[in-house]
Amino acid sequence: MLLISCPYCGARPELEFSHGGEAHIARPADPSAVSDEAWAGYLYHRSNPRGLHIERWRHTHGCGRFFNCVRDTVSDEILATYRAGEAPPDLTTLVSSSSSPTPPSTAPEAQPAHSPKATP
Amino acid sequence: MRYSALQLIKQAFKAHQDWPEQWRSPEPKARYDVIIVGAGGHGLATAYYLASEHGVRNVAVLDKGWLGGGNTGRNTTIIRSNYLWEESAALYDHAVKLWGDLSQALNYNVMYSPRGVMMLAHNVHDVQVAQRHVHANRLAGVDNAWLGPEAAKAFCDPLNISNNIRYPVMGAALQRRGGVARHDAVAWGYARAASALGVDIIENCAVTGIDRDAHGAVSGVQTAKGPIAAAKVGVVAAGHTSVLMDMAGVSMPLESYPLQALVSEPVKPIFPCVVMSNTVHAYISQSDKGELVIGAGTDAYTSYAQTGGLHITQHTLDAICELFPMFRRMRMLRNWGGIVDVTPDRSPILAKTPVSGLYVNCGWGTGGFKATPGSGHVFAHTIARDEPHAINAPFTIERFRTGRLIDEAAAAAVAH
């Protein structure tokens, strides 16, 4: 079980939280204007990285608020949490400051984690 | 060497010291016609059917670890085909038909045991959904029968059908051809049969890149043992599919989750079939070794760590103890997690990709083992002919763009 630090309430056990999927995926402002590929990308395509993943959690059984979290999907170590609406932290500095850094091969060098990918 | 009772007696006189290796462990050649990435059940089955049915024998199966060491060795071995939509029923039933004589075809005992898969209904909604499934399956030519509580009890004696329990059994859907098989033997059997037909199985050979030629078509792979050329590459990498497809620049509608399972200490035969309950959310069967094999749904968040949270396991065991209080004092022997690649509609992708020469077999989510022979069979067809088999034609990547989903998530024949 993870120990998750809610930016509002502090560290609480995972049981209090709900996972909300990948973060920073913006709904296209005008859905009728985007291509089918872009819409499929928004709906269904996720970065699914082996390495750092930026994701939403909701402190369901606490303050009830959504926030964002940077987690290493190989070790499940949580490297940062921050409030919804804030910009994500610089992932390269997070990796270097981590207590048990992920091997370089799993670093998110090729992962544009902030926007949904479209099908090529 | 063909395995037989006579061979067993012959080898006994040599104190069993003379059995040959079941498959070769060659160094990779510089070039193959087809490279399969991932030596699990689906990948090995693909290679076997490429060699046996399509005459494509210059094939390599690469794996970053040992064969059968991923989800093939980490599942609960349940086999069934009682899916709601006809596309799914056709795909999974294709596999169930192949399971029937797989041991004979491979000359390897995969211990397929069609002991029946029973899905319990605990409330009126369950009853309606299960009966709808039964009718849909019968229209699709898949065996599935509705049993009342007494009939369910007659088939599976450990059930408590009294009506004063928290989750009363109001009936059950039973697929008699469903059952279990020995998961390791499936990988080993396909590996041995494929190797005998000339397929090179190369373990401890991680793929680190997918090469493309000037026209964008696949030209080979980069591996831990150097570059290997191939005109066709099939990715059958389960939870790591997104990572591999990213090497070719192809985005996938997948997310990878840990799925846990566990086995108890072995006991004498007590549990005759597979029982699943979607409402209480667990499934259970007993292996031929005597262990209870137990599983449920995935963990809540995406991960590549093959462990998962203890509270998820505890929730699973709560459900089992609720259904079968007699197991409350049993000790659990092993617990593990596999990384399953889940699509938005919970149906697999078995298809060509936007990259010429690149094929993908993924998205089996929490239920890929049952499909192993059928998946390999139609995927081999897709690779060899460069066009899908009629059975896997609906299982494209493009369905997420066109909206032609095969929505087993909403149909929920299974506890997702």
Residue of A nearest to B346 (CA): A44
Q: Does A1 touch chain B (CB under 8 A)?
A: yes
Residue of B nearest to A36 (CA): B401
CB of B37 within 8 A of CB of B62? yes
Determine the residue among B222, B304, B335, B407 to mutate to test chain A binding: the one whose Cβ has the most chain A Cβ atoms within 10 Å: B304
CB of B229 within 8 A of CB of B31? yes
- Nearest-Cα distance to chain A for B372, in Å, is 24
pLDDT of residue B121: 96
Facing residue for A15 by CB, picked from B254, B311, B354: B311
CB of B382 within 8 A of CB of B389? yes
pLDDT in tens for each of the 416 residues of chain B? 999 999 999 999 999 999 999 999 999 999 999 999 999 999 999 999 999 999 999 999 999 999 999 999 999 999 999 999 999 999 999 999 999 999 999 999 999 999 999 999 999 999 999 999 999 999 999 999 999 999 999 999 999 999 889 999 999 999 999 999 999 999 999 999 999 999 999 999 999 999 999 999 999 999 999 999 999 999 999 999 999 999 999 999 999 999 999 999 999 999 999 999 988 889 999 999 999 999 988 999 999 998 889 999 999 999 999 999 999 999 999 999 999 999 999 999 999 999 999 999 999 999 999 999 999 999 999 999 999 999 999 999 999 999 999 999 876 644 44
Composition of chain B by helix, strand, coil, percent to 5 = 30, 25, 45
Residue B62 CA to residue B57 CA, distance in Å, equals 15
Facing residue for B310 by CB, picked from A1, A43, A76: A1
pLDDT of residue A98: 57
Its pTM surpasses 0.90 = yes
CB of B172 within 8 A of CB of B160? no
- Farthest-apart Cα atoms in chain B, separation: 70
pLDDT of residue A99: 53
pLDDT of residue A95: 78
Reported ipTM? 0.90
Q: Which helix (H) or strand (E) holds A11?
A: strand A10-13
Cβ neighbours of residue B220 under 8 Å, at least 6 residues apart? B31, B35, B211, B227, B228, B229, B230, B233
Is the Cβ pair A117, B401 closer than 8 Å?
A: no
Q: What is the DSSP letter of B113?
A: B
The count of other CB atoms within 10 Å of the CB of residue B66 is 13
Q: How far is CA A119 from CA A48, B126, B255, B405, in A?
A: 14, 38, 15, 16
Q: Are strands A3-6 and B292-298 parallel, antiparallel or unpaired?
A: unpaired
Q: Does B339 touch chain A (CB under 8 A)?
A: no
Using alpha carbons, select from B27, B172, B192 the residue that is nearest to residue B110.
Answer: B192
pLDDT of residue B77: 96
pLDDT of residue A119: 36
Residue B414 CA to residue B391 CA, distance in Å, equals 21
CB of B201 within 8 A of CB of B43? no
Q: Does A50 touch chain B (CB under 8 A)?
A: yes
- Nearest-Cα distance to chain A for B252, in Å, is 6
Indicate the length of chain B as a whole number. Answer: 416
pLDDT of residue B398: 96
pLDDT in tens for each of the 120 residues of chain A? 899 999 999 999 999 999 999 999 999 999 999 999 999 999 999 999 999 999 999 999 999 999 999 999 999 999 999 999 999 999 888 876 655 544 444 444 444 333 333 334
Question: C-alpha dihedral over B71, B302, B363, B356, to 10 degrees?
Answer: -110
From chain B residues 183-242, the ones with a CB under 8 A of any chain A CB are 240, 242
Determine the residue among A48, A54, A58 to mutate to test chain B binding: the one whose Cβ has the most chain B Cβ atoms within 10 Å: A48
Residue of A nearest to B256 (CA): A48
* HSE (side-chain half, CA atoms, 13 Å) at A2: 27
CA A72 to chain centre: 10
Q: What is the DSSP letter of B109?
A: -
- Nearest-Cα distance to chain A for B235, in Å, is 16
